[in-house]
Amino acid sequence: MVTSRDVAQVAGVSQATVSRVLRDAGPVKAETRTRVLEAAAQIGYQPNALARAMRTRRSGTVGVVVSDLTNPFYPGLIEELSAALGSAGCRMALWTSGGPGQDAALEAIRQGVLDGVLFTGATAKSAALREAMRAGAPAVTLNRAMPGWQCDQVVSDNRVGGQRIARYFAAAGHRRVGYIGGPAAPSTSADREKGFLSGLAATGLSLPDEYRRGGDFTYLRGREAMRELLSLTQPPTAVFCVNDLTALGALDGARSLGRKVPDDVWVVGYDDIAMASWDAFDLTTVRQPTGEMARIAVQLLLSRVAEPATAPRRVTMPAELIVRGSTAHHGGDEAQSAGKPPATRARRPNAPTREPRLARSR
Amino acid sequence: MVTSRDVAQVAGVSQATVSRVLRDAGPVKAETRTRVLEAAAQIGYQPNALARAMRTRRSGTVGVVVSDLTNPFYPGLIEELSAALGSAGCRMALWTSGGPGQDAALEAIRQGVLDGVLFTGATAKSAALREAMRAGAPAVTLNRAMPGWQCDQVVSDNRVGGQRIARYFAAAGHRRVGYIGGPAAPSTSADREKGFLSGLAATGLSLPDEYRRGGDFTYLRGREAMRELLSLTQPPTAVFCVNDLTALGALDGARSLGRKVPDDVWVVGYDDIAMASWDAFDLTTVRQPTGEMARIAVQLLLSRVAEPATAPRRVTMPAELIVRGSTAHHGGDEAQSAGKPPATRARRPNAPTREPRLARSR
């Protein structure tokens, strides 16, 4: 390995002079400085990163904690984070929480080998986040909110998103609506549910217990819960699923019973993952602007690393309803078409015959 | 921050003694040793990780480079790698190649902040891999092979997998078979294609240019290529897609033209990602045993970190054909059913009427 001693030899100066030049510390003649830099470039000297990190107390690495890579929402978000961190010259260290990787993440936070941490799947029970905040580590929660916690937070407006779906159902004349929820702890499922319920209440609709199913954000549970709902004597005519992956399972659950979507039942998801727009699903959903959320989260984290004393900031992005073939189309202002290929559009009926023309839902 | 100086003060010994105890280096009385360890525990002393890494020249971090997180094959593989690395007490640093993250990975390899690197999407053009090997970094390629390169490699038998599909098509009586390929550089697509072509040749079938479409491993290209193939006057009756994501696009391409799978056309993918078994797709495919591949790759990498001089090793895992509803079912030994729910199985015809009973294909 090339060392600063080699640089000193080639430049014909002392090692102390090389050190002063490379650390930009102390007086050095311009001519000497040039000679040292040329020598370093000539023999390919790279200052040791660990040694430099020791001096600067920065590792150049940002930790990202995800809860579940098998939910396509997270790989999509991580792609965006990877790009944003790479542009900022940072390395990304990734852990999945829950698995054994969690311990490694906790240790890295304790030992300070990370400059900061981005949490994409935090809950009030997140040991890693609590630990990071106790240790004063720069931390940003992304996607899920942590009300009352003193850290930067970037979320989309899950409550308004849930409300919007309730109003969309009500405006379309649905009277029996169903819901397949998520775990209680994450703010995303809690807020979407609160919004959905308040939206139903505002339009005079209710959600009886038999139309309400618990879930866990997975395809398999969505499939199972939808089969339960569609097996009721009076099944719901529109079902909101707490996330897209659950909704894809719900669509397959309806498919497995020979039920037609949207003719027999409407299905709506949440997130707008890439698959939502595939022909096989053509899913109406609420879009989370993940690219913009990732870029803002990285900006907040890096600015906090630079100025740790800044008061915590919270950024809430708008939620946008994207209407596709898993519900009836309408010309209202509320929903934006997702620009499907014409061949696909043409196959879909514009609305089930039992549905009245949709009014603006807000 | 608590330092070794604080420990020395609490224990009532010199800082040099504390250092000897914590590094387990040099003679220390048993009683003194106990007093130092108790003091360290009492005041919550954590030896600085960067300082320790400087001494041991190990960072405890393994780099993982993926080519595309939006292909669900990679998140699935990374989940497995994350678990395997976590069990071994290692942190995982993740980069996507191609994006700006690539530069960060290259720099980390040059500077030695990684103990080793796992490449999941390497090609002969991979600058990062070439750089890692030039610098003598412990590197393992996983999923894609690098013939002639001096590094550990873990792959599944893509050539045999391709052959098996050709024989499966031939045994079912297909005469017009199609192929939607991948990029030329990755060994996975190259080997699957070679195996498929040699398998066709062995059974007297050929692949005319008009039944052959180039691709890029994506859903969108699979969809488009399938629409091209099905628009031919004599379309193929069975299409092999180089990976599952391409095959999901191909299924949606057939769907968008109103063609029935498997009645009008058989579709086969490669990888067996989780989605392949969903009702919406029910895709026949070749399974890569990603969990076992990930565990072996991590073992190889860690043993190479411990003993860098070991000769390069190559592990090839078997490829297993998984028959589902996107092709006709049969009772042969070659194919294993994936254990679909009965409700789903019942919907599927056992075989298109034009197909003879399938013989064992090898």
Maximal C-alpha separation, chain B? 91
Q: Which chain A residues contact residue B110 at CB under 8 A?
A: 46
To the nearest whole Å, the CA of A19 is away from the closest chain B CA by: 18
First to last CA, chain A: 67
CATH architecture for segment(s) B59-156+289-317: 3-Layer(aba) Sandwich (3.40)
A216-250 pLDDT per residue, tens: 999 999 999 999 999 999 999 999 999 999 999 99
Q: Which chain B residues contact residue A70 at CB under 8 A?
A: 75-76, 79, 274
> How far apart (Å, rounded) are the C-alpha atoms in residues B268 and B281?
11
Q: CA angle, corner B94, sides to B88 and B98, nearest 5? A: 145
Mutate to test the interface with B, among A78, A82, A106 (most CBs of B within 10 A): A82
> What is residue B183's three-state secondary structure?
coil
B136-157 pLDDT per residue, tens: 778 899 999 988 788 899 999 9
Candidate from B51, B72, B344 with C-beta closest to A72: B72
Q: Which of A88-102, A104-118, B189-203, B333-347 has the lowest mean pLDDT?
A: B333-347
User: Is the predicted pLDDT of residue A205 greater than 60, yes or no?
Assistant: yes
> How far apart (Å, rounded) are the C-alpha atoms in residues A267 and A254?
10
Average pLDDT of chain B is: 82
Pure H helices in chain B: 4-11, 15-23, 30-42, 49-56, 73-87, 101-111, 127-134, 158-171, 187-202, 219-230, 244-256, 290-306, 342-347
Candidate from B99, B110, B347 with C-beta closest to A46: B110
Look at A219 and B278 and tell me if their CB atoms are within 8 Å: yes
Nearest residue on chain A to B74, alpha-carbon basis: A75
Look at A70 and B76 and tell me if their CB atoms are within 8 Å: yes
- Phi, psi for B52 (deg, rounded to 5): -65, -40
Does 1.25.40.10 match the CATH number of domain B4-47?
no
Q: Which chain A residues contact residue B102 at CB under 8 A?
A: 86
The pLDDT-based confidence of B31 (bands split at 50, 70, 90) is confident
CATH topology of domain A58-156+289-317: Rossmann fold (3.40.50)
pLDDT value of position A116: 87
User: Is the predicted pLDDT of residue A276 greater than 70, yes or no?
Assistant: yes
Nearest residue on chain A to B44, alpha-carbon basis: A110
Look at B279 and A51 and tell me if their CB atoms are within 8 Å: no
CATH number for the domain running over B158-288+320-347: 3.40.50.2300
Count of pairs with CB atoms under 8 A, one residue in A, one in B: 174
> How far apart (Å, rounded) are the C-alpha atoms in residues A193 and A187?
10
Q: Which chain B residues contact residue A90 at CB under 8 A?
A: 104
Look at A100 and B79 and tell me if their CB atoms are within 8 Å: no
User: Is the predicted pLDDT of residue B351 greater than 60, yes or no?
Assistant: no
Which residues are CB-contacts of A55 (< 8 A; sequence separation ≥ 6)? A23
B283-302 pLDDT per residue, tens: 999 999 999 999 999 999 99
Look at B93 and A95 and tell me if their CB atoms are within 8 Å: no
To the nearest whole Å, the CA of A48 is away from the closest chain B CA by: 6
Which residues are CB-contacts of B14 (< 8 A; sequence separation ≥ 6)? B8
Preceding omega of A262 cis (within 30 degrees of 0): yes
Burial A315-334 (b: 16+ CB within 10 A, else e): bebebbbbbbbbbbbbebeb
Maximal C-alpha separation, chain A? 91
Nearest residue on chain A to B274, alpha-carbon basis: A70
To the nearest whole Å, the CA of B92 is away from the closest chain A CA by: 6
Look at A256 and B341 and tell me if their CB atoms are within 8 Å: yes
CATH topology agreement for domains B59-156+289-317 and B158-288+320-347: yes
Residue A77 Cα to chain centre, angstroms: 5
B103-115 pLDDT per residue, tens: 556 666 666 667 8
Q: Which of B41-45, B156-160, B292-296 has the lowest mean pLDDT?
A: B41-45
Mean pLDDT (whole number) for B210-215: 98
User: Is the predicted pLDDT of residue B346 greater than 50, yes or no?
Assistant: no
Q: Which of A154-163, A265-274, B307-316, B330-339 has the lowest mean pLDDT?
A: B330-339
Which residues are CB-contacts of B90 (< 8 A; sequence separation ≥ 6)? A104, B60, B61, B62, B115, B298, B302
- Please check whether residue B218 is in contact with residue B182, taking contact to mean a CB–CB distance below 8 angstroms: no
User: Is the predicted pLDDT of residue A140 greater than 80, yes or no?
Assistant: yes
Which residues are CB-contacts of B151 (< 8 A; sequence separation ≥ 6)? B129, B133, B139, B140, B141, B312
Q: Is the dihedral of CA B10, B14, B17, B23 positive or negative?
A: positive
Give the β-pairing of B238-241 and B91-96. Answer: unpaired
Where is pLDDT greater, at A110 or A166? A166
To the nearest whole Å, the CA of A146 is away from the closest chain B CA by: 26
pLDDT value of position A347: 33
User: Is the predicted pLDDT of residue B17 greater than 60, yes or no?
Assistant: yes
pLDDT value of position A189: 96
- Please check whether residue B337 is in contact with residue B329, taking contact to mean a CB–CB distance below 8 angstroms: yes
Q: Which of B148-152, B157-161, B165-169, B177-181 has the lowest mean pLDDT?
A: B148-152
The pLDDT-based confidence of B338 (bands split at 50, 70, 90) is very low
Nearest residue on chain B to A89, alpha-carbon basis: B104
A144-156 pLDDT per residue, tens: 998 878 889 999 9
pLDDT value of position A328: 82
Candidate from A101, A112, A255 with C-beta closest to B280: A255
The domains of chain B are located at 4-47, 59-156+289-317, 158-288+320-347
Where is pLDDT greater, at A36 or B204? B204
User: Is the predicted pLDDT of residue A272 greater than 90, yes or no?
Assistant: yes
The pLDDT-based confidence of A17 (bands split at 50, 70, 90) is confident
A53-82 pLDDT per residue, tens: 444 556 778 888 887 888 999 999 998 998
